[in-house]
Amino acid sequence: MKRFASFLMISVLSGVLTLAGYLLFIDKDNVLVEANTGIPAYTPVKMNSLPTGTNADFTEAANESVNAVVHVKNVATVRRSPFSSSTTQALQGTGSGVIISPDGYIVTNNHVIQNATQLQVTLNNNQNYMAEVIGTDPKSDIALLKIDAEDLHYLPFGNSDNAQIGEWVLAVGNPFNLTSTVTAGIISAKSRDLGMDSNISSFIQTDAAVNPGNSGGALVNINGELIGINTAITSQTGTYVGYAFAVPSNNARKIVEDLIEYGDVQQGILGIRGVQAANLPGEYNIEISEGVYVDQVEAGSGAARAGIRSGDVITRLDNVKISKFSDLIGYIGSKRPDDVVTVQVIRDGDPKEFDVTLTKYEVYQIKAIGLEVTNASTDELKQRKVTNGVKITRGLTPQMQNEQLYGTIITAIDNIEVRDIKDVEKIMEQRSPGQSISVTFVTPDGEKQKYVWR
């Protein structure tokens, strides 16, 4: 009996110690681990194997990708102190890039190389090269670099239009300076608009882990094809929380080709202003919930010449389904001026089809007052009863967006007549920083107004 009691006491004591140990060392909810070394803290995660019957093999794609993804280091010349005229070179940041040709062309993000005075590129084999900036497109956050090298491993562009939601992908880059890191996930969404600024964006969304340092890296499919350039994450902590976004490869490829051939991005436009059909109020009596409702058609644009009208609902472009405005922006963003796009619309309940020749998007941003302008057509000038001017296309700041100035004609800046955006650019380049600016407007109602910004 005493022996049994001893065993019972030992069992109870063991159970108490086990429970106490669990509560003390394991059951710690909502604990945030921070380190003062600047090295990221890591927590173990549950690893899931591929679902039964899945034949996805990432090894070949990973091996090809790591040899084509590079580490980009941005070095800028900065002043040693506010009280000194001497300068020094300092590392501004690091990111990733993707080799897209055997002779050393590299695509990355514009924010990775912005303000750099020197760019160093390190390959997966630890070879270092100095890089030259061929061109940038801040609007899409794409930049093109070139290193002096031959016979490099590179990634071929895939067709991002063919990428499917749920498809396996790899994100390859250098997060936290951990070089040649590969993570896996799926495509979570397409044509995602993050609403980060006044531009409508059209990203591929993935749950493959992307962190600071991955910017400019590759998003590849299991065939090893480049289908996106990793660009952004949405997180309150600044690190990965399950959502990452990439510029689609079709858009990136078109930008790269433009920068090589023309030196800048050639942007084609349909020439319409619209809104998602699902966002229309009830009085429009639109029964379609997917598509882009055409609110206005630009005079002289390809859409106008083809016969598209206000009230049409765009549902497809070249057999690519258009559910929302970011679908349209993403697809047109992969095209150039003079490209012909087949536009399918619903008009008064009936389907119609138009072949639209895209026109060139020419704008100038007057950043001093937060407005973007484009050349006004002859018809638009006649409607306002003026002989010269440029047309406001959008506000660049929340304040100017609230003013709803679209279509307003600017006839003069600082009392100098403007006839096109080149006149505007010339005036702005000759102004002194901080100088007040006066702008003469003619509203869509024909009212003439003058404002001064100080």
Distance CA 330, CA 201 (A): 7
Phi (first) and psi of residue 453, to 5 degrees? -105, 130
Max Cα distance, the chain (Å)? 112
DSSP 324-337: SHHHHHHHHTT--T
Q: What type of residue sits at position 169?
A: V
Backbone torsion region of residue 213, taken as left when φ is above 0, otherwise alpha when ψ lies between -120 and 50, otherwise beta:
left
Helix (H) or strand (E) holding 113: helix 110-113
215 is catalytic: yes
Residue with tokens 């057509």: 377
Report d(CA 73, CA 450) in Å as an integer: 47
| Candidates 215, 249, 326, 334; catalytic one | 215
Please identify which of the residues 65, 96, 141, 301 carries the catalytic annotation: 141
DSSP bridge pairs for 417: 412
d(CA 230, CA 244): 8
Active-site residue, selected from the candidate residues 65, 71, 96, 111 = 111
Whose tokens are 């009208």? That residue is 309
In three-state secondary structure terms, 426 is helix
Whether the CB-CB separation of 388 and 418 falls below 8 Å is answered with yes
Residue with tokens 């034949």: 55
State how far the Cα of 221 lies from the Cα of 286, in Å rounded to an integer. 38
- Determine whether 141 is an active site residue: yes
Coil, strand or helix at 94: strand
Q: Which residue has the tokens 């993050």?
A: 194
Print burial letters for 297-327: b (CB count within 10 Å at least 16), e (below 16).
bbbbbbbbebebeeebbbbbbeebebbbbbb
Rounded distance between C-alpha atoms, residue 72 and residue 120, angstroms: 6
- Positions annotated as catalytic residues are 111, 141, 215
